[in-house]
Structure 1
Amino acid sequence: MIVHRIDLNIDDLTLDIDIGLPTIDITAETYDLVGDFFGFLPLFGNGRAEFEVKGFRFRAKLFLEQHENKKSVVINRVENAAFSIPHLRSNLSGVIGGGNIDAVINRLIEEVFIDYVNRFHGAISIVTSTISTTLGNEYLKELDTWKYIEAVRS
């Protein structure tokens, strides 16, 4: 992980973050694919699936608050969430029998994925902010962190 910037404002209980993950590797030993590509190209097959994301970067302003348990700092809300995925490499094997068609399908997946991520960036940011706040708070509420905020504010 690369931390480009983290600014904690104790008075406002806000946390501005800008972090990156140089490489994210996702691998599935087997997949089963049945469907079509935009209704014109039937897709089917099974095999190994590998995806590589390079240069993922996430920025947001987190508004923090004290949890009802009085011992934890949790996320109240997330604003100005933004992310970028500059590079995606897809490596599916065994699509429609494999061979040369795998390279074509992988290239289509890469282009379409990046296009959709860019097109629906705002909606994706809102949904992931909501989900990450809910999931993150499940973990954060278990930590005894409010004492650090109190110590700095005193």
Structure 2
Amino acid sequence: METPSNPKTEDYTYKQGQYSPRKRKDTTPKVNPQLAVELVFQELKRVEAYTKRIEDATTKKVEIDRGSLESAENRLKNVLADFERQGNRMKNGSYVDKNVSMYSILCAVFSLLFACLMCYLWVDAAKDRDNYKRYYEYFQQEQNAK
């Protein structure tokens, strides 16, 4: 039996009764070249359509992002302008904080009410003193006489 050094390249000869490999059938499908080209072009068109859709969506996203960025920038500018206005008011002395002014007004009102109450009690006590003054003087005279 002959054994070649490289069975792929050399032609072998087999003795009778020895197993010989069957010829392989060609399993590669036969393709119509024109049909293959058409299929490739269809696939390319589909890829181009997807690419176009992705580009359009990206453009819309960028436009939306740009719009939201501009609106956020405008809001920030408004807030900064408000801070500047408040700073100018504070520099000019015309700035009044609403909470502080409300507490100040409440304190002033309660102070006035308390002052009015004290005045009323003082005046009432003075009237009583005037009413009882003659009795007090009489009692004092009797005490001194004893």
Which structure: larger Rg? 2
Q: Considering fraction of residues, name the structure with more helix.
A: 2
User: Normalised by the size of structure 2, how large is the TM-score?
Assistant: 0.21
Q: Which has the higher strand share?
A: 1
